[in-house]
Amino acid sequence: MPKEFSKKDAKAWARENFKGLEAPVFPSFTPDLADLDEDGIRYDVNHIIANGMKSILIAPEGTGMTMEEIKRFTKIVNEEVNGRIHTSISAVLNTVEDNIEAMQYHEACGGTMAMLGHPLMYDPLDQDELVRMYKYMADSVNLGLVFYAGRLKLKRWDPKTGWPMDTLPKIADIENVVAQKIQGGNTLEYTIECFERVGDKILVADPMTPAWWTTIPKYGQQWAGAGPFYGSQTPENPRHVKLFNALVEGRIEDAKAIQAEFRGAPREKGEYVYSAFTNVNYPETGIMCAFADKYSHWLCGGNGGILRQPTGRLYDYQKKSLREQVERIGIKARENEEEFFLGRMNYAKGYRLKRY
C-alpha cells in the first residue's frame, strides 16, 4: 500500500498531488541484448528527473522482456527514484493476470501509480463485461490507476472514437481510478468529450502540447503524460516543463514565447514523434515503436540503446529526420551512432559493436 494515500482517498490525493509532466523510461540492455543494463536504466532515471518530470512511467510494453525481467526493471527504477518523484508502471501486457502481477510487484516496490490498459489476450463480450474486467484488475491493487483506452479498438461499439464512451463514467467511478490518459494522435474533439464526461470525477490529460492551449485554461488539466518530453528539451532548458507550467499559471505571454522556441522544427505538432512513424500508423495498429523515444532521448542526453524484438525498427532516414528536428530547435544532438546502439553507459565502459 503506498504510504501517501489510502485507496478510498486515491482520487482526492491525485487531484492534490498528481501535477506536472510524466515521461516513460524504457529498458536498456547489455550489448548482446541478453540482460538488462542496470547502469543504463539508472542513468535514464536520473536524466528524466533532471529534466523536471514529476512522475516516471516504467514502460515494459513492446520491449521483449520476460515477467521476471519486468520485475527487475521495476525494482531498479523504484530504487533509483527513491521517492524523489512519483513512479507508475504501464500495465498493458499480454493477459489480465500479467497486468495484475506487474502492478502488484510495482506496489510492493513502493510504486504509487499504474497506467492500466487492455491486455493483448482479451476480447470483451459486451460493455458491462469490459467494465467488470477493469474493476477486477483495479481491485487487485491499492495503486492510483490511470485508465488508458489506447490499445483496444472497439469500433463495433463506437465507430467514431473506437471506444464505448458510455463506459467512461463507470470506469471513472472505480475507487482507485484517479485519471485518464488520452492516446497521442486523437482529436481535440475526443479529448474535450472525455473532459466533459469524466473530468469532474478524475483527472484527464492529453499529452500532446497543441491541446494544452485548450485543455489547461478551459478544463484545468494539471498533469500530462506519459510522453517523451525529454526528446525535445534538456535539463538546461526544459521547454515542455516551462510551457506546461506557464499555461497552468495563466502566464499566456510567457507560454507564447516558450512555444516560439519550438518553431525551428518543421512539425510543431509533436515536434519529433510523427516523422518516426511515417511507415506505421501507430494509433490504428497499436504497434509500439519505443526506438523513436529512445533515439530522441539519446540525442538530447539520454542513455540510448537498442531494444529486443519484437519492436518497430528505426531506419536511417527516420533518425536523420529526428536529428534535424532536434538541432533546429537549438539542441546540440549527440553524434556517435555507435554509442546509441550500445547505450552511453556501455560505450563508456569500452564496449564496441562487433565487426565482421
DSSP for 134-160, written as a single string: HHHHHTT--SEEEEE-SS---TTT-TT
> What is the pLDDT tens value at each position of the chain, 356 positions in all?
346 789 999 999 999 999 999 999 999 999 999 999 999 999 999 999 999 999 999 999 878 899 999 999 999 999 999 999 999 999 999 999 999 999 999 999 999 999 999 898 988 999 999 999 999 999 999 999 999 987 666 778 887 777 889 999 999 999 999 999 998 778 899 999 999 999 999 999 999 999 999 999 999 999 998 999 999 999 999 999 999 999 999 999 999 999 998 876 555 444 444 444 444 455 555 566 688 899 999 999 999 999 988 777 788 888 998 898 899 899 999 999 999 999 999 999 999 999 99
What is the spatial distance between Cα 352 and Cα 187, in angstroms, rounded to a whole number? 44
For residue 11, give the H/E element and its range. Answer: helix 10-17
What is the spatial distance between Cα 233 and Cα 255, in angstroms, rounded to a whole number? 15
And the C-alpha cell for 267? 512539425
- Predicted pLDDT of residue 286: 58
What is the spatial distance between Cα 198 and Cα 40, in angstroms, rounded to a whole number? 39
- Predicted pLDDT of residue 140: 98
- Predicted pLDDT of residue 1: 38
Please report the sign of the dihedral spanned by the C-alpha atoms of residue 290, residue 305, residue 209, residue 49.
positive
Closest CA to 88 of 117, 126, 123, 128: 117
- Domains in the chain, please, with CATH? 1-19+54-227 (3.20.20.70), 235-349 (no CATH)
- DSSP bridge pairs for 159: none
And the C-alpha cell for 226? 506519459
pTM of the predicted model, to two decimals?
A: 0.93
DSSP for 24-65, written as a single string: EE---B-TTSSSB-HHHHHHHHHHHHHTT-SEEEE--TTS--
- Predicted pLDDT of residue 274: 45
